[in-house]
Structure 1
Amino acid sequence: MILKEFYEVLQTEHKEDLYHTTLRVNKDHEIYKGHFPGRPVTPGVVLMQLFKEEAERIYENSLQLARADNVKFTAVFDPTENEELILESQLEKNGDFIKLKGIAKNHKGIVLKINSLYKRL
């Protein structure tokens, strides 16, 4: 896990290839001291990393991002407003690759939409 002490998994539910994971983000994490003081904003690359780490946790396998398509950041995620973030992931395993279609959202709505492909290591 590259994001040490950044979040904890509160709950994961799944049905077939659909996963709904609720995370609690650490609003006091080091990332927010520089991004940005007085107005914490979760960097987009960190939001993308959350999906990778969730897929690694589910498949119990290290992954490497091979491709990211249609990455759309639609809102700012500020953990001081609400620490919970929900990841909705549709995962499909195909040989050495895992395809992910995901949405990250908070109490206000969608924060990120992503389609990505990961290679199993």
Structure 2
Amino acid sequence: MLLKDFYSVISTKRNEGQFFTEIKIRKDHDLYKGHFPDRPVTPGVILMQMFKEELERQTGKNLQFSKANNVKFMAVVDPNVDDVLVLESEIEETAEALHLKGVARHNGCLALKINASYNWV
């Protein structure tokens, strides 16, 4: 985990080529002291990192971010409003890379859409 103890996995459901993971964000994590003390906001790059870490956990392989074809941040992820985040992912594995189509939902809203590729390390 890039940010130690930033989140914990509540549950994961996996179907062929898809997974759904519920994550509990630690709203008292040091990250929020700087981003931002009066209104905590989870940085978009952290949301992207969470997808990478979940892909590594699901595949049991180390990955390196390669490229993003499309990333859209749709809503603020404020852990004081709701400290649960749901990652929904479709993955396709090739010999060269792992390809992800994912969305993150927070407080019932779409927070992030991402299409990205990761190389095997």
The residue correspondences of 1:3-22 to structure 2 (distance < 5 A) are 3-22=3-22
Per the alignment, in what secondary structure is the counterpart of residue 23 of structure 2? strand
Query: Could you say what secondary structure the match of 2:39 adopts?
Result: coil
Q: One-letter code of the match for 2:59?
A: Y
Unaligned runs of 5+ in 2: none
Question: What is the alpha-carbon distance in structure 2 between the residues aligned to residue 108 and residue 81 of structure 1?
Answer: 11
Tell me the SS of whatever aligns to 2:42: coil
Separation in structure 1 between the aligned mates of residue 43 and residue 55 of structure 2, nearest angstrom: 19
CA distance in 1, matches of 2:94, 2:58: 15
Q: Distance in 1 between matches of 2:52 and 2:106?
A: 18
Contact 2:81 2:107 in 1 (8 A): no
Give the corresponding residue for 1:92. Answer: 92
| Count of residue pairs brought into register by the alignment | 121
Deviation at 1:2, TM superposition (A): 0.8
Q: What are the superposed Cα offsets for residues 39-81 of structure 1, whole Å, 9 maximum, x if unpaired?
A: 0000000000000000000011111000012100000000011
What pairs up with 1:34-113 in 2 under 5 angstroms?
Answer: 34-113=34-113
Decide whether the 8 Å contact of 2:98 with 2:118 is kept in 1.
yes
Q: Aligned Cα RMSD in Å?
A: 0.7
Q: CA deviation at 1:107?
A: 2.0
Cα distance in 2 between the residues matched to 1:14 and 1:106:
20
Q: The residue matched to 2:5 in structure 1 has which SS?
A: coil
Gaps of at least 5 residues in structure 1 are: none
Structure 1 runs of 4+ off > 2 angstroms? Answer: none
Match of 1:20, SS state, is strand
Secondary structure of 1:49's partner?
helix
Partners of 1:40 and 1:11 in 2: CA distance = 24
TM-score, with normalisation over the residues of structure 1? 0.97
Identity %: 49
